[in-house]
Copies of this chain bind each other. A is one copy, B any other.
Amino acid sequence: MNADGSTPWRSAEDRDAERQSKREAVLTTAVRFFNARGFHATNLDDVARRLKVTKPTIYHYFSSKEEILFECVRRGLAAIRDVAETAQAAGGRGADRLEALMREYALVMTRDFGMCVSRTPDAQLGPESRRKFRALKRDIHAILQGVIADGMADGSLRPGNPLLAANTVAGALNWVAIWYDPKGRMSPEDIADGMVATLMSGLKDTTP
């Protein structure tokens, strides 16, 4: 028996969990390199060195460099899709759901996997992954556009072109991933709240 009452032999679950946590470590290390240097400029030897292992070790957990990138963007997109679906399903008028969606979207873009989505051009992936990547982005865009269209229909949003409005919103939010600096003055919440307010109310002053 061990000091803490457990055996020194790890169970199958323990080993499986350890494997998962190592996979995880590869992903979080790699995504930071990708975000800092770009996919092509990142080499797996550097990632491996940072993890204090060698390159072939990484290949025990992923079958290719691209699979690592794809898993990163998949996670980022999953996070965005979650916030989009949650907001879409929430009650209230279109404007309220849009506000919630934008706020949470902005927060995701300040985190590693979210940043990776915005910084990864489709062309960076092979044909198969690119197809999936685009499909996921289309889904999210459809939800965003749908919520905006709902708001325009229920009178809570100014009438207009929902596609263009969605692209404007997506642009402002995705760009957060480019300029956000964790060491900067603005917290993710500051950014999210301020950006939502600006996009909803506009820049122009409307006081009489």
Interface residues of A (CB under 8 A from B): 36-38, 40-41, 95, 98, 119, 121, 123-124, 148, 151, 155-161, 164-165, 167-176, 178-179, 186, 190-191, 194-195, 197-206
Contact = CB atoms under 8 A, between A and B. Distances in A.
A171 B167 contact: no
Given A158-B204, A171-B179, 11 more contacts: A37-B123, A38-B40, A98-B203, A155-B205, A158-B202, A161-B194, A170-B175, A171-B176, A198-B202, A201-B204, A202-B204
Contact of A158 (B179, B186, B205): B205
Copies in the complex: 2
B124 A158 contact: no
Contact of A157 (B41, B165, B195, B205): B205
A176 B163 CA distance: 12
A138 B194 CA distance: 21
Contacts of A158: 201-206
Q: Which of A156, A164, A165, A205 has the most CB of B within 10 A?
A: A205
A9 B56 CA distance: 63
Given A37-B123, A38-B121, A175-B170, A202 B201 contact: yes
A150 to B, nearest CB: 12
Interface of chain A, main secondary structure: helix
10 contacts: A95-B205, A157-B204, A158-B204, A160-B194, A164-B191, A167-B175, A168-B194, A168-B199, A171-B171, A200-B203
